[in-house]
Amino acid sequence: MNEYDSNRIYDLASVIGFKKTNTKTEADCFVLNTCHIRKKATEKVYHEIGRVKKEFRNLKKPLVVISGCVAQAESEEIMKREPYIDMVIGPQSYHKIGDLILKHERKKGKINETEFDVVRKFDELEKIPNTQNKISSFLTIQEGCDKFCHFCVVPYTRGPEYSRPFDQIISEAQDLVKRGTKEIVLLGQNVNAYNYKNQYKLSSIIRVLNNIKNLKRIRYTTSHPRDMSEDLILCYKDCSKLMPFLHLPIQSGSNEILKLMNRKHDREYYISIIKKLKQINKDIKISSDFIVGYPGETEKYFKETIKIIQEIGFINSYSFIFSPRPGTPAAEKELSKTNINEKRLKEIQKVLDNYQYDSNKKYLNQNCEVLVENKLKKQTKYFGRTKYMTPVIFEADTCSVGELINVKITSFNRKNLFGIYKINKIKAA
Ligand code: SF4
């Protein structure tokens, strides 16, 4: 979502005359669009500001703007800790960036803008074209979350659930396709909770997108198991452009930990959703997020997480040690021992890596459908992705970016597939 927001921030800044520069020291303005999901992400902000300060030591100071969730959650603190910062803008107020920059030009004072103004944000954004022209483009359809998992800052930094107007989304999707997009990734913190006026759901958007002529693939992320409704599951049967790959975070395989996390689902419910999906489409594969070392996690509970990984066989998953975020209920709890958490993280990653490796191994010597995303810089090779998002690097006599092609896989590692693409030439008699 930050990538989508960063692009839109650029679209807004270009209205008042800003252009991107590849030479850092030429910049008049830096916007650091930030993430607050883990502590490490916050610290990166200060490191980056440190670098900017150093590079501009003998130059005119640029305007420094911090946007995104760190700005929302720690606006006062970051202004105090780093006086080099001129402006903080929360994720629901970035549509004002042009006006705020002009205001700063006039008055020169520090600006702190962290209002939750999500309705106006999307109304304003609708007036400015989304200039993404990538083969695979993000499209935000929903923001915020009402689930309040005890470890998560999103409900505090992005605010309550908000669904964008249905027509606004469809028109943005059509524009993206006109600009050359072949794959749309629908975004939301709780994307499958999308509900516009009790009339349109995520499945309604997918069904319309499925009929857009030059669009080839549809994905969505991130989903909550509780919102995997029947109508959405049915899309995996009816909509050929919806990819058979779903990122569905479970976080833990232990019902006791899921309860402590306030996840509002248990392992049995999660498994029942996967069963339904596989009944509808046997090719579906699932990825997930796992938090290791959540306060209260015993060895028994941890082993239950390993067990569910073995039961479901997740691919392309993410795992992290619990990171307490200030202001969330879990931040008040006693932390588990670091050495135990590190050991568990290694163990879980080893199991996940093995599934990933085995999944990639199955492609060896097979033809695999790839959406070509770009040609690699200074190389003759191309880059694309499978239906399951696995990166594919391949040689080709000739091929076009944006094409769906069959690549013969000749080797692999845990993360990537490697192959060759040859157009079959029919020999003249
Ligand atoms: S459902 Fe997702 S975004 Fe919402 S609180 Fe839980 S982890 Fe955060």
Residue 59, domain CATH? 3.40.50
Q: Give the closest residue to 222 by CA, choosing from 308, 275, 281, 154.
A: 154
Any idea what DSSP says for residue 23?
S
In a shared domain, residues 269 and 296: yes
What's the CATH code of the domain at 143? 3.80.30.20
Choosing from 98, 116, 134, the residue where a domain stops is 116
Write the CA distances from 223 to 34, 53, 110, integer angstroms: 22, 39, 37
Residue 21's Cβ-count burial label (10 Å; 0-12, 13-18, 19+) is exposed
Residue 362 lies in a domain: no
Determine phi and psi for 223, rounding to 5 degrees. -105, 155
Calculate mean pLDDT across residues 37-62: 90
Which residues have C-beta within 8 Å of that of residue 15, sequence separation ≥ 6?
98, 128
What's the CATH code of the domain at 386? 2.40.50.140
Question: What's the CA gap between 361 and 409, in Å, rounded?
Answer: 10
Residue 376 lies in a domain: yes
In a shared domain, residues 385 and 332: no
Ligand 1, atom 1, lies closest to the CA of: 147
In a shared domain, residues 372 and 240: no
pLDDT, position 140: 95
Instruction: Report whether residue 98 contacts ligand 1, using a CB cutoff of 6 Å.
Output: no
In a shared domain, residues 225 and 308: yes
| Mutation test residue for ligand 1: of 1, 69, 190, the one with most atoms within 8 Å of CB | 190
Question: Which amino acid makes up residue 358?
Answer: D
pLDDT, position 136: 96
pLDDT, position 424: 60
Residue 107 lies in a domain: yes
Question: What's the CA gap between 100 and 106, in Å, rounded?
Answer: 10
Residue 427 lies in a domain: no
Calculate mean pLDDT across residues 356-375: 96
pLDDT, position 429: 35
Does 38 score more than 90 pLDDT?
A: no
Instruction: Report whether residue 114 contacts ligand 1, using a CB cutoff of 6 Å.
Output: no
In a shared domain, residues 293 and 328: yes
Question: What's the CA gap between 96 and 76, in Å, rounded?
Answer: 19
Calculate mean pLDDT across residues 261-290: 97
Question: Residue 75: pLDDT band by 50, 70, 90 thresholds?
Answer: confident
Q: Give the closest residue to 71 by CA, choosing from 54, 85, 51, 83.
A: 85
Does 126 score more than 90 pLDDT?
A: no
Calculate mean pLDDT across residues 321-328: 92
Residue 426 lies in a domain: no
Write the CA distances from 52 to 30, 39, 65, 146, integer angstroms: 9, 21, 12, 37
In a shared domain, residues 112 and 124: no
Residue 355 lies in a domain: no
Calculate mean pLDDT across residues 315-341: 92
**How many separate domains does the chain show?**
3
pLDDT, position 107: 83
Does 425 score more than 50 pLDDT?
A: no
Q: Is the pTM of this model over 0.85?
A: yes
Choosing from 350, 382, 411, the residue where a domain stops is 350
Does 307 score more than 80 pLDDT?
A: yes
- Ligand 1 atom closest to residue 158's alpha carbon, by position in its atom list: 3
In a shared domain, residues 89 and 143: no
Calculate mean pLDDT across residues 409-415: 96
Residue 361 lies in a domain: no
More confident residue, 116 or 236: 236
Calculate mean pLDDT across residues 28-52: 89
Does 428 score more than 60 pLDDT?
A: no
Calculate mean pLDDT across residues 46-60: 93
Calculate mean pLDDT across residues 196-224: 97
Residue 202 lies in a domain: yes
Does 280 score more than 70 pLDDT?
A: yes
Q: What share of the chain is helix, strand, coil (3-state, %, to 5)?
A: 40, 20, 40
pLDDT, position 426: 42
Instruction: Report whether residue 190 contacts ligand 1, using a CB cutoff of 6 Å.
Output: yes
**Mean pLDDT, all residues of the chain:** 93
Element (H, E) at 138: strand 136-140
- Ligand 1 atom closest to residue 262's alpha carbon, by position in its atom list: 6
| Mutation test residue for ligand 1: of 35, 38, 69, 145, the one with most atoms within 8 Å of CB | 145
Say if CB 419 and CB 408 are below 8 A apart: yes
pLDDT, position 41: 80
Q: Whose structure tokens read 């030439």?
A: 425
Instruction: Give the number of other Cβ atoms within 10 Å of residue 36's Cβ.
Output: 23
Choosing from 301, 317, 350, the residue where a domain stops is 350
Calculate mean pLDDT across residues 262-275: 97
In a shared domain, residues 160 and 280: yes
Which residues have C-beta within 8 Å of that of residue 134, sequence separation ≥ 6?
180, 181, 373
In a shared domain, residues 323 and 189: yes
- The pLDDT tens digits for 228-254 are 999 999 999 999 999 999 999 999 999
Q: Is the peptide bond before 380 cis (omega within 30 degrees of 0)?
A: no
Q: Whose structure tokens read 């900017």?
A: 52
Does 427 score more than 70 pLDDT?
A: no
In a shared domain, residues 141 and 234: yes
For ligand 1, the distance from its centroid to the CA atom of residue 224, given in whole angstroms, is: 8
In a shared domain, residues 132 and 207: yes
In a shared domain, residues 127 and 246: yes
Domain of residue 309, residue span:
120-350
Question: What's the CA gap between 276 and 155, in Å, rounded?
Answer: 29
Based on its alpha-carbon atoms, the radius of gyration of the chain, rounded to whole angstroms, reads 23
- The pLDDT tens digits for 377-397 are 878 899 999 999 999 999 998
Instruction: Report whether residue 218 contacts ligand 1, using a CB cutoff of 6 Å.
Output: no
